[in-house]
Amino acid sequence: MNAAALRPIAEFAFFICAVLIVYTYVLFPALVLLWSVVRRRRFVRGDEIPSVSLIIVGYNEAGAIGERIENALALEFPRDRLEVIVASDGSTDAMVQIARRFEPQGVRVLECPRRGKHAALNDAVDMASGEILAFSDAHSHFAPDALATLVRPFADPEVGCVAGNRVYMKRHRAAQPRRTAGQAATESSAARPEAGTAAGERLYWSFDRILKLAETFTGSAISASGAIYALRRTLFRPVPPGVTDDFITSTQVVAQGYRLVFEPTAVAFEIVDGSSRHEFARKVRVITRGLRGVLTMRRLLNPFRYGFYSLELLSHKVLRRLMVFPLCGLLASSALLWPAGTFYRAVAVAQLAGWLIASMGLWLSKTRAGRLRLLALPAYFLLVNAASFLAAVNVARGRSFVVWDPGRTQSGRVERKLAT
């Protein structure tokens, strides 16, 4: 096929890819922000304190579980209304032994065989007695008032799940979790992780918090983060294998006709991992499980039943995770259209420059220059899209991650799983 015959095909591909990219990264966020102002569905907060079961599931978290339990027991929440459950998914380190030291203080420890986090989480829920189920990761630290503010929206009978606010901190600040939500908002902007991709991730999640709040006012946020969220006990459904548990658990609430709202004052602190290599492997695993989760909950993509939420889910959890393909398509089509005019050449050059900057950001990730926004954001963008490509391949090949083996950073701390 000659160049003249290829041109209409290349132009069509260029147009489709450009529309998808602009819609996903620009028009969709603008639409959500606009719709949140036009529709503005608020929710009621109350002061009644329900009984809560705080569930923490982990595998080989000996390096973090003691500090995590201490943080949970120190929360500003009535102890007679709080049940702390720690479940181990077949840990081979001292995680269970460390957790059992807190049993005299009322902590319940569940030692499960190695079957995957979903199975341990389901077992932990079976033994929970609280009206509200709260979930957290072993490496998340709650602000003192986090749990109290997390449960306040349940005063609204339409609210079935509440997503808390994950805030990234400097490593040395993570050991000082006693901060209010106001301090968290101030310090999160000043925190400086040790790697450029970590800085890029922190900036990305800062924008994501704004979007989650806007989504809440359209009706429901899309999903919750595993660092901090809660739902009514009656709305929990068992988590299937091979999916992101926080996504499935929180979206099942929407599927049952209840709202999923974002509560920005319920803060959990985390540190962004500084290792690009470990971060990439984790991203591939998390996005693979996330895409499989969307397939599991694909009924939520029906706009005739779930309205604007279906568009949000499609745009945020499907299109954004598959943007690597339109991005590659735009680059290839603009290169093919190079002889067709200055516009296509400018687009091709701009893309090549962007990918070059992103590559430089990854290369300089451990340096001070790599933490600059000019390099950190493109580097994180490249990392996520490369991981998304491999995740899409995993889903297409039917590969899943039922159990996980967290890698360790140079400091010896276990990697944290971040939900998307």
Q: Per-residue pLDDT for 75 more than 50?
A: yes
**In this structure, are residues 276 and 195 in contact, taking their beta carbons and an 8 Å threshold?**
yes
Query: With bands split at pLDDT 50, 70 and 90, how would you rate the model's confidence at 364?
Result: confident
Q: Is the pLDDT of residue 36 over 50?
A: yes
Residue, of 173 and 96, whose pLDDT is higher? 96
pLDDT tens profile 247-281: 999 999 999 999 999 999 999 998 765 556 677 88
Phi, psi for residue 238 in degrees, rounded to 5: -55, 140
Nearest of 378, 339, 359 to residue 200 by alpha carbon: 378
Q: What is the pLDDT of residue 331?
A: 94
Fold of 1-420: Spore Coat Polysaccharide Biosynthesis Protein SpsA; Chain A (3.90.550)
Q: Which tokens is 206 given?
A: 């800062």
CA Rg value for the chain: 22
pLDDT digits (tens, 9 = 90+) for 168-226: 775 544 444 444 444 444 344 334 444 555 666 666 667 788 899 999 999 999 999 88
Give 19 or 406, the one with higher predicted confidence: 19
pLDDT at 369 exceeding the cut of 80:
no
pLDDT of residue 23: 97
- Average pLDDT, integer, range 6-26: 93
Structure letter (DSSP) for residue 142: E
For residues 391 and 288, is the Cβ–Cβ distance under 8 A?
A: yes
How far is it, in rounded angstroms, from Cα 253 to Cα 256? 5
Percentage of the chain beyond pLDDT 70 is 83
Task: Write out the H or E segment, with its range, that includes residue 331.
Answer: helix 324-336
Provide the pLDDT for residue 341: 87
pLDDT at 190: 38
Tell me the sheet residues that pair with 108: 85
What is the structure's pLDDT at 270? 84
